[in-house]
Structure 1
Amino acid sequence: MQPPPSAVRETVTDRLEDTLDLLQSLVGYPTVSADSNLEMVADLASRLGDCGARVDLFSDESGTKANLFATLGPEGDGGLVLSGHTDVVPVEDQDWSSDPFVLLEHEELLYGRGTCDMKGFIAAATVMAREYSQLDLKRPLHFAFTYDEEVGCLGARSLVPELRKRGIKPAMAVIGEPTSMRVIEGHKGCCEYTVRFNGLEGHGSSPDLGVNAAEYAARYVMHLLSLRNDLVQRAPVQSPFTPPWTTINVGSIHGGVAHNVIAGKAEVEWEMRPVQNSDGEFVKRSIHHFVERELLPAMQNVHPDADIVTEVIGEVAGLEVMDDNAARDLVSRLVGANGAHVVPFGTEAGLFQELGMSVVVCGPGSIEQAHKPDEFVSVEQMRSCLTMLERLGDQLTV
């Protein structure tokens, strides 16, 4: 027998109140990427453990950060992952109207750092774990809460190999980034690099006696730019992105100390946003060959200690649009969406896709509010998220 509508609404209201209470606690943890997230993940681990979940914490090398991975339901392959990142961006030099680490509700809007990006989703998923634990789950339900997404998806990049090593093979993943509860099936990757050129200083009147790091940095940049036309030609047919091809951007070039001194050091900061993982490999392979076969031999012919060092700032895999995507189809049914979209911002979704899962991005709040002062998520968006997660529960028992 179904409960009367008023009872259903009361249950939804209770879950919402519990979710907002938890969100208040989560916002109170100042988990800026530069700082620890251990208190927050310990809180979440305790709550999930109280629901009967099997909980693991995976620390980083410093011991100040940890990923949380928890499971309800049976062991085995398949099932679904609800995933979110615990870190937030800094608040320094932002003009907030209230304490960013104290949740403030005003006119149905919930203000605080991380409310939409993405502690709102984490709070909703954790509260729903109590409900899921009472169900006869037919397949595993996992919770993955990671560290350092905002600085290169470091936590997820560490978690995915750990899952592979343990033989954990979920079938689907829902990444609860703020999409205004729209269903997102794809986004470009984002790869950022800093390249340092170490040459040999000398007097500008005898350039042949030195190794001009600035000149080699310029040649490096020109090679990068020469790849742009190749990337345009490699654009997938009917690519949904704007622009439809992989882009390269040179963000900064630094080098040298004076007009009449051969530049001994130079630095290039650049990024690319692949529409497909093969483009990223194409660019890296091309630039590696150019450095190893042309630039370094020429530099070291003059000065054997000259070198070129590349620092990987972050390599965030894109979420490739797939014709067959069970996670997209499931979430579309749950939220009543008629279609899926792509977005320009990056998420951890591509890393889970590389593990063999079908992946979708869908969560409460707008990306337009993320990273800004007075970040907020609306109460209505939180209701919509809880409704989606409640409907998910029905799918986990069949």
Structure 2
Amino acid sequence: MTTAGSARNAGGANAVPELSTVDHLAQLIAFDTTSARSNLALIDYVERHLARHGVDCRLVANAQGDKANLYATIGPAQRRGVMLSGHTDTVPVAGQTWQYDPYALTACGERLYGRGTADMKGFLASVLAAVPAMAEADLSVPINLAFSYDEEVGCLGVRGLIADMAQYPQRPVACVVGEPTSMRVCCAHKGKLAARVRVRGKACHSGMAPEGVNAIHAAARLIGWIEQAAAGRAKAGPFDERFGIPHTTLQVGTVEGGAALNIVPAHCQFDFEIRNVPAEDPQRILQQFLEFAAALEAELRQGHADACIEVERLSSYPGLSSNQDSALVAFVMALLDDAAIERIGFGTEGGLFQGELGIPTLVCGPGSMAQGHQPDEFVTGEQLERCDAFLQRLIAGLEQPGVGERLADGGVS
């Protein structure tokens, strides 16, 4: 792996040596960008690094002004380029037992530990280390950088960037989302819809249970519907063999309710999710659930007029479905050491770029999601080296004339 001391030093003997991927990763890990916190310090770091190499960027902030997306163009801005996309936020470390400091990069053998090393600051660090080479290259089409916020809470932040990009005269011709795939190409992932259910019943002493309306019992019936819907899809599909679990899944992740064993509970709340294959519409599943909930609510109101069931949609994002035979997939796979197609069980912002902006998209980045969101999260030096090599080959590939026209056949299915 390239070290800071051996990196390119284009500015002469007195210039500051360029940082390596590991150097940048150490800086990025030091920023606590848990989704509940601001990412502006990290964005400022990226902005200053880009400015040192003559690269301007555009920030698209949230309404509160404490978070921002970043978009930059390196190369001929009048042409449609290739976008490298990643999110800056991470999941919390609360409740996890770490052997290493999650916000200080720690090397142990081949492993580099820290929150976000795999998901997905390793990719961002590799991109930042490649910026000097990008800026010096004679690119035929530009390289666009899109760094977002709040991906981990439902791909929320990138939507402002997508709305902004919709007004750009030249949008990227292709996108690579650098989520961890062990540097293999992923052409598809499931969509997701998350919802929260609140049940209000009527409390009373448990010795007089029939006079109350048990909110937990009602929630259990709703959860049973979700379990049956999941089992039905596991048995009958629809199926999509591109996924390790080839059918739509439903599951309840959290349940809260009740005050004491001797009180019939008046309240219960639970969160559930739908992770759908492209052939199935999660809105249709949600509508079926709402119809069941409405019938149950009418039943509850026979015992208490104020009983109710409320369903709040928390977040959703579409799945990704790209043509495996597209020009983009062929182009990217030619730049990789491993030509295998990866199947992933998690979602990305890729479906939004493809669905909302029509940008052919695939997923490819260093590390494995098996380490993402875990205590002692890590990425290996070998994975970062492979990402560095991929980016250098990408730069060389985008120097070739006519590459933009070849990529224009994105083959979106």
TM-score (norm 1): 0.84
Q: Please name the residue that 1:320 is paired with.
A: 321
1:216 offset after TM fit, Å? 3.2
Q: 1:50 to 1:162 in 2, by over 3 A?
A: same
Whole-angstrom distance in 2 between the partners of 1:245 and 1:91? 31
**Greater per-residue helix proportion:** 1
**Could you say which residue in structure 2 is the equivalent of 1:163?**
165
For structure 2, list consecutive stretches of 5 or more residues without a partner in the other structure. 9-17, 402-413
Amino acid at match of 1:319: L
Is 2:45 the counterpart of 1:43?
Answer: yes
In structure 2, what is the equivalent of residue 188 of structure 1? 190
Q: Which residue of 2 aligns with 1:14?
A: 7
What's the CA shift string for 1:32-79, capped at 9, x where partnerless? 222221111011012223333331112223322211111223345742
Alignment counterpart, residue 128 of structure 1, candidates 127, 130, 134: 130
**Cα distance, 1:298 vs structure 2:** 4.1
Cα distance, 1:225–1:51 mapped onto 2, change above 3 Å:
same
Q: Does 1:289 align with 2:294?
A: no
Asked if 1:377 corresponds to 2:379, the answer is yes
Partner of 1:348: 349
Cα distance in 1 for residues equivalent to 2:26 and 2:4: 20
8 Å CA contact 1:128, 1:389 repeated in 2: yes
After the TM superposition, which of the residue ranges 70-79 and 362-371 deviates more from structure 2? 70-79
Once the two structures are superposed, what CA deviation does each residue of 1:149-170 show, in whole Å capped at 9, x if it has no partner?
2232222244323323556632
Cα 1:141–1:227 change in 2 (3 A) is same
d(CA) in 1 for partners of 2:170, 2:211: 58
Match of 2:269 in 1: 267
Letter in 2 for 1:311: E
1:10 Cα offset (Å): 10
2: CA distance, partners of 1:145 / 1:377: 20
Cα distance, 1:117 vs. partner? 2.1
Question: 3-state SS of the aligned residue for 2:187?
Answer: strand
Indicate the residue corresponding to 1:81 in structure 2.
83
Q: 1:209 to 1:165 in 2, by over 3 A?
A: farther
**Residue pairs, 1:34-73, within 5 angstroms:** 34-73=36-75
Give 3-state SS (helix, strand or coil) of 1:267's partner: strand
SS of the aligned residue for 1:149 comes to coil
Aligned pair in 2 of structure 1 residues 54, 297: CA closer, same or farther (>3 Å)? farther
- 2:213, 2:264 within 8 Å by CA — same for their partners in 1? yes
Q: Structure 1 stretch 227-236 or stretch 193-202: which is displaced more? A: 227-236
| d(CA) in 2 for partners of 1:83, 1:348 | 8
More displaced, 118-127 or 295-304?
A: 295-304
Gaps of 5+ in 1: 1-8
Deviations 1:299-353 (A, max 9, x none): 4566554432223344243323534544332221110443312112332222222
In the TM superposition, residue 141 of structure 1 has moved relative to its aligned partner by 2.1
> In the alignment, which of 383, 387, 396 is matched to residue 394 of structure 1?
396
Given that residues 277 and 317 in structure 1 are in contact (C-alpha distance below 8 angstroms), is that contact kept between their aligned partners in structure 2? no
CA distance in 1 between counterparts of 2:304 and 2:345 reads 43
